[in-house]
Every structure is written in C-alpha cells, then in structure tokens.
Amino acid sequence: MYGIPLTLLLLRLALAGQVAAFPSTRLLDVWNSYAPKVGLYDPQHSNRPLHPLTSITDQNARPQSGAESRSGRKQKRAQTWVVVDVYQGEGFFDDFEFFDQSDPTHGQVNYLNKTLAMSRGLASVTADNKAVMQVDNHTDLPLGQYRDSVRITSSKSYTGGLFLLDVEHAPWGCGVWPALWTVGANWPVGGEIDIYEGVNLGTHNQVTFHTEPNCTYTRGVNQTGTIIGTDCDAFVNSNSGCGITDPSQTSYGAALNGLGGGVFAMKWDDDGIASWFFHRSSIPPDITNGDPQPSGWGYPTAQLAPDGCNPWVYFAAHSIVFDITLCGDWAGSAYGGSGCPGSCETQVMKGANFVNASWVVNSLIVFRESNFAASAAEGRGAPIWTLAACIALVAGIMLQS
C-alpha cells in the first residue's frame, strides 16, 4: 500500500521522456487507475478529461474553429499545467485552517474558529456545492464592538503554479475589505501576492505584491492594468507595495457580482508572476475544459517581471488566504472619500449593512507546471533500463491487485 505512490512516481519520471508512446494499454489503465489517487495524474497519458471542472462554466464561450484546433496550441508553448489541488464543494474547507486571532490589519472583526463559523452559518457549502464565507449580517452591535467574520488559510503551501479562482459572488460594501491572496509563512519574507482585493464601493480589482526590500515592479510584457506603485518593499510607503489596478470597472464590487462573477487567475513561473481576470461570459474555453493555456489568454492585468524581482527569491512557500475584514488600515482610511455614509465605525454597528459581504466560490484549482510538452518537442527520452524497471514495478502492483 505504501509502495504505490513511490512506484507511480518512478513510472511518472520514466514517462516524462516517453510522451509520444505509452508502453502498453494495460499499463496505461493502471496509471489512470492509481495516479489520480496520489496526485500524479497527467492528461497527456489519458483520453479522459483532466478534471471534471463542472463549476467553471462559460455558456457564451466561442467554440474553436477547425483551423484553431488544427493549429495545436500545445505546439506554441513548452508549458503544460497539471492539477495539484481542487478546493470545491463539500470538501472545500477540509484543507483550510480557520484563523481566529486579532486582525493584523486592524479591522473591526472577530475571526471565528471553524466550529463557531460553521455553527453560526458564516462558513458553509450550499446544496449545489458552492462554498460560502460571510460576515455576520444579522446582529446589530453597540459602537466599538467588532463584527464576526471569517478568514481561512490553506494547510498546503505552494512555490510556483497556476491558481484559478471561479467566484460567483465576492464581498463588497461600505466598510468592507475582502481579499484572496497568497503569502509566505514569515511575512514579508517569502512575499505576498494579492490576487483579488478592494475596499468600500470600489469597482476595480487591485493586484498587489509585497516583499522584502529590493523588489521592483517592471513589466515583462504589455499589460492592461495601471501601475500605481513600483517598490514592493513592505517596509516603505506604508506597505502599499507594487499595486496594479484592473482596467475593468466590473472587476470588483456590485458590478462584478451583477455579471455572475468570473475567473481570477495567477501564474507564477520563470517568467515572473502574472494575473488575469475573465468575466463569466469571456472565460477562455481551455479553462472551461480543464486544460489552461495562459499563453493564449492575451495580455495579463499585471506581470511582475523577473529582471526587477526574481520570483523564486522574493516569493516562496505560499499558503492561500481568503478573508473579509471591516474598516482597518485600508477600508478605514479610505472610508471618508468613498461616498459611504457616516463613519466606518458606525457602519459596523448595523448587520444589514453587510448583506453583500460574502464569498460564494465555485472552485479554486491549483496547477503545477509540467515539462512533458517540452520533453516531447526536444526529443528527449528516458533510458530504456529506467522504463523497464518501472514497468516491472507496476507489474508487481498488478499481480498484487
């Protein structure tokens, strides 16, 4: 039992150079049977879909033409992406830890542990498999009392990868400050990447990078977003970081939710760190089909280029965080010019003010980079003895089953 993952890993390594021809149909069946259970499944070795990404839907997606299909997008790139983790449905919260300490950003919230959050309905999964996280929107509070909310952190950490958030509804409103971000364990060592963030009645999502000193934002490619900061150093400029504003006025807030949400993507690899946003009606078909190909997505909202900030030096071992805070360092300081009534402190008092302060998440999927396509293109092959040894090991599994 404990030998299966190692066996399949050896087989996986052997197959890295044998993309064009799987050694046998029976071994292919064994691979497809066991590999998904240990996280090694790769679509290049199966005619089955990578993952049933039923939550990522695009009813208005334009189908590929024959010419586009024949062009072979895989031939245009050396990258392929393999699913590592899927956070979705009933198991969404299984690999998240609930943060229940005071808010580091000085928000007026009480973050609840998992038991309390679930029992009070602030964290739940709907009958149609949507994960919900929300602020208490029922209780009226005296001035100065903090409101119950939710903040979760993934148990797993990632260095590099492709992260796809399919969100149907994201928090917004006066005094509300939501974020989806990834962060190292010893901030700012290891860095921080804010994928989705905004405050109050804003309409534009903001992507932001926070790091140790000497990380500078330079564009690796053309981008659609507006740069509002180029020094990512968390110790200067009140930790404003390297901020980039999405040009879409429906990438945050009420307008985003009115359009049914969409997909936020972040890619972290040798080319730097890039982010995209797609409205529900414009999600690329390759995302919908579970075979994401960022090279075909057009210009990103933001791309932190490696020549100004090495993505492997300033960013490492990131956990994924969802949170909803109220007021605090950003929403509180921006409240006076936000067009919201009264003060942020008085806004927190009434529960009905926060009926829109909720996440409704269809899925969050994390991919890792694979070099299978590059290996095939370059004609590299695994040594025959390595392949033979792996076949023997898998045959042992077959005999034991």
Residue tagged active-site, from 197, 212, 369, 378: 197
- Catalytic site includes residue 369: no
Digit-coded pLDDT (tens) for 132-165: 999 999 999 999 999 999 999 999 999 999 999 9
In 184-300, beta strands by DSSP E = 192-197, 206-210, 226-227, 242-245, 262-269, 272-279
Strand partners of residue 401: none
Over the range 274-283, which residues count as b (16 or more CB within 10 Å of their CB) and which as e?
A: bbbbbbbeeb
From residue 304, give the alpha-carbon distance in Å to each of 181, 202, 233, 314.
15, 24, 14, 11
Residue tagged active-site, from 90, 97, 168, 192: 192
| CB contact at 8 A, 219 and 294 | no
**What is the C-alpha separation between 371 and 297, in angstroms, rounded?**
20
The CATH architecture of the domain made up of 90-370 is Sandwich (2.60)
Top pLDDT among 56 and 134 is at: 134
Q: How much of the chain, in percent, has pLDDT values that exceed 70?
A: 73
Q: What predicted TM-score, i.e. pTM, was given to this entire model?
A: 0.75
pLDDT recorded at residue 249: 96
Digit-coded pLDDT (tens) for 90-130: 999 999 999 999 999 999 999 999 999 999 999 999 999 99
At which residue do the structure tokens 């901030």 appear?
187
Digit-coded pLDDT (tens) for 198-236: 999 999 999 999 999 999 999 888 999 999 999 999 999
- Catalytic site includes residue 197: yes
* pLDDT over threshold 60, residue 19: no
**Average pLDDT score over the chain:** 81
pLDDT recorded at residue 36: 41
Digit-coded pLDDT (tens) for 363-393: 999 999 987 333 333 333 333 333 444 455 4
